[in-house]
Amino acid sequence: MTRQQEFVLRTVEEHDIRFIRLWFTDILGYLKSVVMSPSELENAFDEGVGFDGSSIEGFSRVAESDIIALPDPSTFQVLPFDANNPEIKSARMFCDITTPDEHPSLSDPRQVLRKQVRQAADEGFTCMISPEIEFYLIKQNADITCLEPTDTGGYFDQSSNNVVPKFRREAMVALESMGIATEFSHHEAAPGQQEIDLRHADALTMADSLMTFRFLIKQVAVNSGVRATFMPKPFTHQAGSALHSHISLFEGDTNAFHDPDDEISLSQTGRQFIAGVLRHSPEISAVTNQWPNSYKRIVFGNEAPISATWGISNRSALVRVPTYRLNKAESRRVEVRSLDSACNPYLAYSLILAAGLKGIREEYVLDEPAEDDISLLTRRERLAMSYEDLPASLDQALRLLEKSEFAADVLGEQIYEYFLRTKWKEWHNYQEQITSWELRNTLDY
């Protein structure tokens, strides 16, 4: 019994926790849960909890369906919503999925990220991530074809005519109660669009926090009588919802991205990391932007990157180097702007981290930064500047992913093959739809 396990058992008893929720995600990033009573917790730490992996899409075949959910005691937190109802007071822990012989499951996204974190550690680095998470609040409506935002506000507005004026405060209280440190919250550019920024944490902790974030935000929204959505672009004429992720690598207590002698305080290591992310971004777009709707944000979204470029304070670039506090070493970071809020954070961060590490390991050369608003350039102009465009559809992204030995190696064969198979099916289902636009424009031809 470890100290962390003993702490969990003691806390459960002291706080009279009635139910333990064990969480993990499937390959697409859907949160899964099994509930157990506290009396089974000590045994779960020793042996894990067995379940039928063949019932979870992509986890295992029927012939080898037995898998184990092993609770990670470092992720134990009491859930905030049942505090006033002791009969159903609950806590949660994330799990690592293993086979019965205690090998990491090849289908567990959390294990994929853990592997990349260890790879970074072997090369002397700790990856720290601070995301800006955008999402929409919409009114509850049975007709999902008539979405209506909860307010008419814009960027940094106090949100006039807001249906839920206390939402962000209540959300931040819920997040902080579960040990998820927040930095800022504000209204984003579009009506109903919100942003909450999380304080930096190591990559695995942050991926866990993002899954918890989506759960808590949706719960706070339901309790407020509205609906939260992390859909990349729910409104045609409004901005999409991104997961702008500020990333830095530390060597011990030293920020490996900081160089006080550089004009923008960015080290050679930082430049090589950016070069790695840029080179591999097109081939991993199907994972960082995994839905057909994701590409409506990329192609038509405000300040969404359409090319694999970098810039200094340039919000139209895929990777932006912020110029705040240039002399503060611990603040030197790069901002990856391609991810959207509906990605699986374990897989997306695995690929981003692996791409950056490869850039460092193989000493990729970084081109000059983009100074234009890339979204205003024509395709010909981007080609003339040697900018490589990101895929414009899930179809294009999957074709690149199919050719990517890099992505296959990072994800592992089982996740890679299942992801491709599932997403091709999804794309074909999307393609076969007859839309109202088609009917309006061609029915009377």
* pLDDT confidence band for 51 (50 / 70 / 90): confident
Nearest to 284 by CA among 32, 112, 134, 118: 112
For the chain, the domains span 3-107, 115-437
* pLDDT confidence band for 145 (50 / 70 / 90): confident
* pLDDT confidence band for 62 (50 / 70 / 90): very low
pLDDT value of residue 64: 43
Secondary structure percentages of the chain, helix, strand, coil, to 5: 40, 20, 40
Burial class (CB in 10 A: 0-12, 13-18, 19+), 257: buried
pLDDT value of residue 54: 61
Residue 337 CB neighbour total at 10 angstroms: 23
* pLDDT confidence band for 1 (50 / 70 / 90): confident
pTM over cut 0.75: yes
Residue 74 CB neighbour total at 10 angstroms: 15
What tens digit of pLDDT does each residue of 298-348 get? 998 778 999 999 999 899 999 999 988 888 898 899 999 999 999 999 999
* pLDDT confidence band for 401 (50 / 70 / 90): very high
pLDDT value of residue 227: 95
Cα 89 from Cα 82, distance rounded (Å): 5
Instruction: Tell me the fold of 3-107.
Output: Ubiquitin-like (UB roll) (3.10.20)
pLDDT value of residue 63: 35
Please determine, looking at this structure, whether the domain spanning 115-437 carries the CATH number 3.40.50.2300: no
Provide the terminal-to-terminal Cα distance of the chain, rounded to the nearest Å.
73
Nearest to 355 by CA among 284, 426, 307, 413: 284
